[in-house]
Structure 1
Amino acid sequence: MSAPRQLDLPADARAARFRTPGLVLAVVCVAQFMVVLDISIVNVALPDMQRELHMSQNALGWVLNAYTLTFAGFLLLGGRAADLWGRRRLFLIGVALFSLTSLLGGLAQTGGELIGARGLQGLGGAVLSPATLTILTTTFTDPKARTRALGLWSAVAGAGGATGVIAGGVLTDLLSWRWILFINVPIGLAVLAAARLTIVESRGEGERPTLDWGGALTITAGLVALVYGIVETDTHAWTSGFTLGFLAVGVVLLAAFLAIESRHPHPLVPLRLFGSRALTGANLIMVGIGSVMFTLLFLLSQYLQDVHGYSPLRTGFAFLPMPIALIIGTQLSSRLVARLGVRTLLTIGPLVSATGLLLLSRLDATSGYLHLGLPGALTTFGVGICFVPITLAATNGVDRRDAGLASGVINTTRQIGGSLGLAALLTVATDRAHALASSGAAVAQTGGYTRAFVVSVFVLVAAAVVAALVLPRPPRAEAEPVLGTAPMAEPLAVTD
């Protein structure tokens, strides 16, 4: 008798043919690639967005900040929700929301509409990203298979960051900036269709945690108020009632967040974690690294296109050495961390990046590409050196059961630092550009950028000092690097 045809099989049997670990891995990797791609792909298109939607320099910063603030504020909550309501369900919701808001962003006719869509897109990413990781860890139960799967997941996430700068240039140059958002729609639809066939529903075992909505809302609203108050100093003095009012609201909301975390039975961020010097120091360092990285890509994109007249495509290729240098730094540090130790690498890495930024601070309106490309690559190389040891510092400094949560906190901190740093450094650049306005647009803009790079040098030197003075001296035998610390990757939210 011949074997039954596929159409003769029961529906459950036909569905089971698609539920292989390899296909699950492919689906979640593509989803994570889409989320990571959307960070780096936007930077190259910012000048085109600014011109078409008539956005100010400060408003343009919100295209990034709206995404990162909602992403950071709801990331840990998204991980908890996936455990509580089902990982497959939250994965599908996250993909659908991310794709829909990408479409809305691509259709935006004003800067406000674009910023609103980006904020909702960050919420979609916060739901989607942690679900991809938990689906992987529950699908691959064998330790060796799980290690290989997480390694591939991390590599794909890193490739998303490196690919974004090129893809952003190609799409913006050949089509328009809107296609950097539209491209998520067909990818998202394909992922939704594949996920429904391949992923099996699962939920967290043991105690059923309640969701800390109050914590997520207060930290997000508090950060938005702080960033808005800082950004608007371009038009309102630091001592004005407007600025002080928003800063005060931000501080009050962040204080409310701390109060909620101290009382909630299942807080997003258990405050006991920060009893660890290693975790506290790692988060302080990450704030500096995040602020510099976000600002570097933002300002260099403006410099190349507005001052030197680069096309988006040429700008994308001009950025390419930077993520490559970051990947090299990450791989090098993973091999050196056991020999040199976490504290040594976290002192060296920021100082290497500070050297690159010091060289960038010497740019003028006529500087050639080598004066930008090599210092930019040196800066990201130093950042790459920090990625593995900073995660080790955060996770080795806490109880084993809190390692996943600590990893999620450190990556959330990177997004928060990026938003706050971009707001502050963009204000520095704008103030300096206004002071040089009589020298011509190109000279004024370049002067603003270089002043922001000078301030960034001090930020990273401070990070190196924190590493040397705050981090405890660890034993030589370090734990193996934590997987999921891919360069340019979106933060992971692993629930405890």
Structure 2
Amino acid sequence: MNVAHTQTDRAAARAPRPGITLAALAAAQFTVMLATSIVNVALPQIRAGVGLSDGGTTWVVNAYGLAFGALLLAGGRAADLLGRRRVLVFGLALFAAASLAAGVAASASVLIAARAVQGLGAAAIAPAALALAMDLFPPGPGRGRALGVWGAVSGAGGAGGVLLGGVLTQAWGWPWIFRSVALGAALVLVAVATLVPRAPGRKDGRFDLLGTAVITLALTCLVWGLTTARGAGWSDAGVLGSLVGAGTLLAAFAVIELRRPNALIPPRLFATGRVAAGNLLMALLGSVWIALFFFLPLYQQQVLGEDPLTTGMGQLPLAGANMLGAAMAPRISRRIGATATVTAALFTEAAGLLWLSGISAHGSYLVDVLGPSILVGLGLSIAFVQLTALAVDGVPPQDAGLAGGLVNTTRQVGGAIGLAALATLAGSVTGHAAVHQPHLEALTAGYRTAFTVSAAVLAATALLALFLARCTGPRTAAAARPASDPQPSRPQPSPIP
């Protein structure tokens, strides 16, 4: 007996502390978010380096986002069934290899293909890492702080990607943005293999291959149609066919999922209503998230005339505000309530974007970008922390990976759709303005429109959060209780946790 106790004590002593393990998992999430934005500041150089058209340049961003978003659900379910650590290690290895391939690509097709494979690796990393982090911390203040860390590294990855992209592009050229990501992913892989304990997967489930194939094709058609519309126009037969096909496939996916015992998205995931509310709001937040890190660097370079390094340095205040907001989010939520916190955060980010909508073709960073960047960073991080907590609240442990995959899916696919729609809108406005305005004025008009619409979307999202908190909470909580247990054994959480 004493020997058994001694062995257990030694194993416990060797196990890394939760904070160290969380750091390794957060580094994996940071790497995924870094790859989302690191190319944005280098897009002009990438376009010239591999001979991309304007539409092809957008696909350097969208190929990653589409593969990432379309396959996150499959990645989350794979993590639940095969083991979260195993899937995370596989995803990091694939991600590192694809990043290296992008760093040595000599043609547009190879680069875009490598970005898509990067997205595939990220789709395995993100849900597995989030589920492992939630396993470390049960519901309570500890989980709130962990989600604060998650929000900080996610936002810092987005802003830090622009900074690192500028530094590397200026110093050694655009291929090094991908080579550095490959090196970072390899280092994170070593940390995860060393610090994250092994955990078995489930043996009582199967993959929903049909559902995965249908939803992946549906999302591909949707984003393809939205992106192509920028150059071909909304009346183009290919654009209309893609959008109609996406709608048809999404409807088919809904029918398939209702009839399959091993559904990719099982109905039990939405029993409380909080998961559905969190994912809907996260999709709307994501629809402007990626677009922000696309349009802002373009404005700084193409209109203000900044070089890549200066553009990247200009993201530091946004990144700092983002990290501050993520650290403050749990405290603010405990003090004023979660619903008030997420609503105020969304309105704060909307105010920052509305401020950005006043940018000038003859402006400056200090006047046009600095102030709104700080507001956007604060609001974005606080909203992200609260909505992530909402989307994983009350989920059964066996579905934690799927819940992580779902909330990442809605954010990433929302971002891909938002970028495609806003890029189309901005391009259309710029094209009309170029008829009677100078080039820089026309470009600025398009960016102003994108920021204005983004602000309106976030303001509407804040109002929707209030509506969901007021109208869906009591009903969904009651519906989640068994008929034999009319009274809850403990107070039910509100829809915004």
For Structure 1 versus Structure 2, the TM-score category normalised by the shorter chain is: 0.7 to 0.9
Corresponding residue of 1:323: 319
Please list, as runs of the form range in 1=range in 2, the aligned pairs for 1:182-261 lying within 5 A after superposition.
182-192=179-189, 201-205=198-202, 207-261=203-257
Cα 1:399–1:91 shift into 2, 3 Å: closer
Unaligned residue ranges in structure 2 (runs of 5+) = 1-10, 475-490
Partners of 2:190 and 2:393 in 1: how far apart? 39
Whichever residue aligns with residue 60 of structure 2, its letter is V
Does residue 42 of structure 2 align to residue 45 of structure 1? yes
Corresponding residue of 1:72: 69
1:179 CA drift (Å):
0.6
Q: What TM-score do the two structures reach when normalised by structure 2?
A: 0.82
Partners of 2:179 and 2:136 in 1: how far apart? 31
Give the conservation status (yes or no) of the 8 Å contact 1:169–1:316: yes
Does residue 455 of structure 2 align to residue 460 of structure 1? no
Give the conservation status (yes or no) of the 8 Å contact 1:277–1:472: no
Partners of 1:196 and 1:374 in 2: how far apart? 41
Which of 418, 421, 425 is 1:424 aligned to?
Answer: 421
1:336 CA drift (Å):
2.1
Partners of 1:376 and 1:401 in 2: how far apart? 39
Partners of 2:14 and 2:73 in 1: how far apart? 28
Give the conservation status (yes or no) of the 8 Å contact 2:92–2:121: yes
Give the conservation status (yes or no) of the 8 Å contact 2:147–2:389: no
Partners of 1:360 and 1:291 in 2: how far apart? 17
Partners of 2:216 and 2:376 in 1: how far apart? 29
Give the conservation status (yes or no) of the 8 Å contact 2:350–2:376: yes
1:151 CA drift (Å):
7.1
Corresponding residue of 2:486: none
Does residue 446 of structure 2 align to residue 448 of structure 1? yes
Does residue 98 of structure 2 align to residue 113 of structure 1? no
Please list, as runs of the form range in 1=range in 2, the aligned pairs for 1:86-235 lying within 5 A after superposition.
86-134=83-131, 159-192=156-189, 201-205=198-202, 207-235=203-231
1:332 CA drift (Å):
3.1
Does residue 402 of structure 2 align to residue 434 of structure 1? no
Partners of 1:50 and 1:367 in 2: how far apart? 26
Moved more, 366-375 or 109-118: 109-118
Partners of 2:146 and 2:344 in 1: how far apart? 31
Which of 467, 473, 479 is 1:469 aligned to?
Answer: 467
Unaligned residue ranges in structure 1 (runs of 5+) = 1-15, 483-496
Which of 407, 410, 423 is 2:407 aligned to?
Answer: 410
Query: SS in structure 2 opposite 1:267?
Result: coil
Cα 1:371–1:189 shift into 2, 3 Å: closer
Corresponding residue of 1:488: none
Moved more, 403-412 or 46-55: 403-412
Does residue 19 of structure 2 align to residue 21 of structure 1? no
Which of 375, 378, 381 is 2:378 aligned to?
Answer: 381
Corresponding residue of 1:13: none
Corresponding residue of 2:299: 303
Query: SS in structure 2 opposite 1:411?
Result: helix
Instruction: State the aligned residue count.
Output: 466
Partners of 2:223 and 2:334 in 1: how far apart? 38
Moved more, 426-435 or 71-80: 71-80
Cα 1:152–1:343 shift into 2, 3 Å: closer
Cα 1:477–1:195 shift into 2, 3 Å: closer
Cα 1:148–1:388 shift into 2, 3 Å: closer
Percent identical residues: 41
1:203 CA drift (Å):
1.4
Moved more, 286-295 or 85-94: 85-94
1:234-270 per-residue CA deviation (whole Å, 9 max, x = no partner) reads 2323233221101111112222222232223232322
Corresponding residue of 1:485: none
Give the conservation status (yes or no) of the 8 Å contact 1:361–1:451: yes
